Amino acid sequence: MSVIALIERDFAVPDIRCAGCIAKLEQGLVRDKRIAAARVNFTAKRVHLSYLPDTGLPDLIGAFSNLGFEAHPIGTGADAGDAEAETSRELLRAVAVSGFAMMNIMLLSVSVWSGAAGATRDLFHWLSAAIALPTVAYAGRPFFRSAWRALRHGRTNMDVPISIGVALVCAISLYETATSGPHAYFDGAAMLLFFLLCGRWLDSVMRDRARGGVTALLRNMGTGAMVIGDDDRSRWVDATAIDPGMVMLVAAGERLAADGVVVGGQSQIDLSLLTGESAPQRVRHDDRVNAGTLNLDAPIRVRVTAAGADTAIADIARLMGEAAQGKSHYVRIADRAARLYAPAVHCLALMAFAGWMIAGTGWHQSLLIAAAVLIITCPCALGLAVPAAQIVAAGELMRAGVLIKDGSALERLAEVDRAFVDKTGTLTLGRPEAIDLDRFDIGVKSLILALSRTSRHPLSEALTRGLQASDVRPVEVTSVRETPGFGMEALWGDRVVKLGRPQSASVGDALATELSVDGRPVATIRFADRLRPDAAAAIDALGREGIDAMILSGDRAQAVAPVARELGLTAQTGMTPQDKLAAIGRQAALGHRVLMIGDGLNDGPALAAGHASMAPGSASDVGKNAADCIFLGDHMMPVVSAVRMARRTQAIVRQNFMLAIGYNAIAVPLAFLGFVTPLVAAIAMSGSSLIVVGNALRLKRTIR
């Protein structure tokens, strides 16, 4: 048997929800002979496939959809993500090593504290040193590296006092051990590293988890198009391999993978992700169409004029790069604290050393006391205070349907006092919904459902969704046929029923569809983009939190006005991405901190520039990548929950800082006077860390 090299690839499958889904996917996918193995990762909502090299991407996605799941291939070039996951694993290994060392040194230290003396004590100290020194060298690397980086650039951060403290304490303890002294602080050094590494690791776990959630949501990654070759046969081409000059066949309901010119067919194009405009645009032969827009109506052929980095999106990407630079100046609260803390700690230790030298205790005793001061003041609680609170908050928000990308996003979100909201797709659902379905009688409704449920056209799907929500049962129809660009046709008993483009011109350009029986129009259904169900309540709640909202829309004034009136908001309309960026810049210059909520490509730069930003789960990939937080589902209330949670988290973090300062106020004078033995240091350090973590856990009940 020859061995064929299998291709491995990950697919994001957002709908994995239960054990049944795992079984269905893992057992169902391998029934396809081309798929050798499938493994579900439930936490990341991903499926890892090994398949034969000649299997095309659409076939694999088809295999998923046969099982009733929507799958999105995850790009293979996820190097940045892998690097971050590796850092996180490295931190976990360091936590494990320092935890092991801490426990074993503590075992030895307890016997020293309970009275071991002479040769036994020396033996135990030597053993402690043998465990502690390699541990510090291994587990301390993240701190030493970061401290060295900061020092080289002439700055100081939290890691500088930590590194100096740990190194100094180890050196003095080694000296103590060699001279048979009574006090060695090896347990303190290992414990300090353990607690601090726990904080670091929590921070990176939080980032990993959110990133996993975001990748699962990125739909357009790894997309492509059906390309028609010279022999008029079509084949699937990955988005990265599309070249100008190719002709794409874009089906109704499909997003364009590249910019181009229509060379066949006519249709309506939904531009809402690109410009924010809600009314679809009619395109005919020779009209230009852009990547990222959605073909609504009928299949069209498009000759590619620009692909990849040359598309209109590239302009927006450039603007985003500029906008994001402003944000990188934000300094996280822990680092702000460290700016004050690090010099204070160093001064205290130096003063202790100098004071005892002047008092004439000799350099050995003075150095020992200075080390005790350093160990006691080392920001154990500080290093744990921020990440512990933030990971609890992020976990709670994730359960409420909000993904927070990192801790700094929570800090910035707590500070906002203005909100700019995009209209299409953010205040509204961003997809067509049938309006006034209730005015039809049940017979008409069940006939509509019978036809609409057999089609994947966006309007049909909207109808199916709307009707199934009100418990309509479809009638029996036979010989269903779909004519692209026109609609559905079927036999209902012996009568011909059609659901499709309205015959009369009275509906104009608005989205509408018509049901006719035997050629006679029975019902005309109009479609519109509706407001999110709790948009008004969410805007009100934001107001109560002291955040004034305003609409920034790329849409026309006539389309924005009804929404603005209903929500009681002021609005600016017809805005380009640059205009939105400028609006945020003006508010920032006035000293306001702006929360940008938007979904489209056109919101990308504004999302990157806002002090904090949120995007709905239905947003464009650019929007989701640029935003700090993503809220899932049709409701807007999670935006308010996120702001409340962020503020509550900040309050807890501040309390934790106060606790840490209070603890230092008691412990530092003791250390100064030379009362801090290794035993006292161990109790104080673990005690303060436990209090800080306990306080952070109070956040768990904030949302419910």
Partner 1 sequence: MSGLIFLIPIALGLGLLGLAAFFWSLRKGQFDDLDGAALRIFVEDEEGREA
Q: DSSP labels for 65-133?
A: HHTT---EEPPS--HHHHHHHHHHHHHHHHHHHHHHHHHHHHHHHHHHHTT--HHHHHHHHHHHHHHHH
Whose Cβ is closer to partner 1: residue 101's or residue 564's?
A: 101
Binding to partner 1 by residue 23, rule CB under 8 A? yes
Q: Which residues contact 684 (CB under 8 A, 6 or more apart)?
A: 376, 663, 667, 676
Instruction: Report the nearest approach of partner 1 to the CB of residue 83 (Å).
Output: 17
Classify residue 363 as exposed, middle or buried by CB count within 10 Å of its CB (0-12, 13-18, 19+). Answer: exposed
Q: Which helix (H) or strand (E) holds 206?
A: helix 186-217
Among 61, 103, 167, 324, binds partner 1 (CB under 8 A): 103
Does residue 41 interact with partner 1 by CB under 8 A?
yes
681 contributes a contact to partner 1 by CB under 8 A: no
Q: Is 97 among the residues that bind partner 1 (CB under 8 A)?
A: yes
Taking the complex as a whole, the smallest distance from the CB of residue 111 to partner 1 amounts, in Å, to 9
- The interface region with partner 1, picked from 35-43, 139-147, 360-368, 555-563 by CB under 8 A, is 35-43
- Per CB under 8 A, the segment of 12-20, 343-351, 384-392, 559-567 that binds partner 1 is 12-20
Q: How far is the CB of 521 from partner 1 (least distance, A)?
A: 51
**Stretches 36-44, 289-297, 495-503, 652-660: which one binds partner 1 (CB under 8 A)?**
36-44
Q: Which stretch binds partner 1 (CB under 8 A): 87-95, 452-460, 685-693, 694-702?
A: 87-95
Q: Is 456 in the site for partner 1 (CB under 8 A)?
A: no
Query: Residue 249: beta bridge partners?
Result: 226, 301
Query: Least Å distance between CB 703 and partner 1?
Result: 20
Distances (CA, A) of 405 to 58, 316, 399: 31, 22, 14
H and E: helices and strands count for the chain: 22, 26
Check residue 87 for interaction with partner 1 (CB under 8 A).
Answer: no
Nearest-approach distance from CB 213 to partner 1, in angstroms: 13
Binding flag, residue 3, partner 1 (CB under 8 A): no
422 annotated active-site: yes
Closest CA to 93 of 163, 208, 193: 193
**Among the listed residues 6, 7, 14, 26, the single contact to partner 1 using CB under 8 A:** 26
Asked if 96 touches partner 1 (CB under 8 A), the answer is yes
3-state class of 679 per DSSP?
helix
The strand ranges marked E within 315-444 are 402-404, 418-421, 428-434
Looking at the Cβ atoms of 89 and 145, the one nearer to partner 1 is 89
What's the CA angle centered on 342, arms 337 and 344, to 5 degrees?
100
Single out the residue of 6, 7, 107, 691 in contact with partner 1 (rule: CB under 8 A): 107
Neighbours of 65 (CB within 10 A): 12
Of 123 and 178, CB closest to partner 1? 123
Q: Give yes or no for residue 433 binding partner 1 (CB under 8 A).
A: no
Site for partner 1 in 124-163 (CB under 8 A): 127, 131
N-to-C CA span, the chain:
59
Catalytic residue (one of 422, 603, 621, 628): 422
What phi and psi, each to the nearest 5 degrees, are found at residue 329? -80, -10
Rounded-to-integer distance, Cα 541 and Cα 546, Å? 9
Site membership for partner 1, residue 398 (CB under 8 A): no
Question: Could you say whether residue 117 binds partner 1 (CB under 8 A)?
Answer: no
34 or 556: CB nearest partner 1:
34
- φ/ψ of residue 306, rounded to 5: -150, 135
Site for partner 1 in 631-670 (CB under 8 A): none
Query: Does residue 18 belong to the site contacting partner 1 (CB under 8 A)?
Result: yes
Q: Is 40 in the site for partner 1 (CB under 8 A)?
A: yes
Token pair, residue 132, equals: 């502690």
Applying CB under 8 A, the span of 19-27, 63-71, 321-329, 468-476 interacting with partner 1 comes to 19-27
**208 versus 415: smaller Cβ distance to partner 1:** 208
Q: What's the closest the beta carbon of residue 16 comes to partner 1, in angstroms?
A: 9
Residue with the two structure tokens 């071991």: 116
Residue appearing with tokens 């993978």? 257
The residue count for binding partner 1 (CB under 8 A) is 26
Place of tokens 């060298």: 137
Asked if 399 interacts with partner 1 (CB under 8 A), we say: no
Element (H, E) at 227: strand 224-228
Among 6, 22, 670, 679, binds partner 1 (CB under 8 A): 22
How many residues does the structure list for the chain?
Answer: 704
Name the residue nearer to partner 1 (CB basis): 184 or 352. 184
With CB under 8 A as the contact rule, the residue among 1, 3, 5, 19 that binds partner 1 is: 19
d(C-alpha 82, C-alpha 76), whole Å: 11
Binding to partner 1 by residue 66, rule CB under 8 A? Answer: no
CA angle (103, 108, 110) in 5-degree steps: 90
- Name which position in 29, 35, 44, 413 contacts partner 1 (CB under 8 A): 44
Distance CA 372, CA 165 (A): 9
For residue 89, the minimal CB distance to partner 1 (Å) is 7
Cβ contacts of 131 within 8 Å, gap of 6 or more:
101, 104, 105, 186, 190
Residue 104 interacts with partner 1 (CB under 8 A): yes or no? yes
Alpha-carbon distance of 276 to 213, in angstroms, equals 25
Per CB under 8 A, residues contacting partner 1 are: 18-20, 22-23, 26-27, 30, 40-44, 89, 92-93, 96-97, 100, 103-104, 107, 120, 123, 127, 131
Catalytic residue positions, numbered? 422
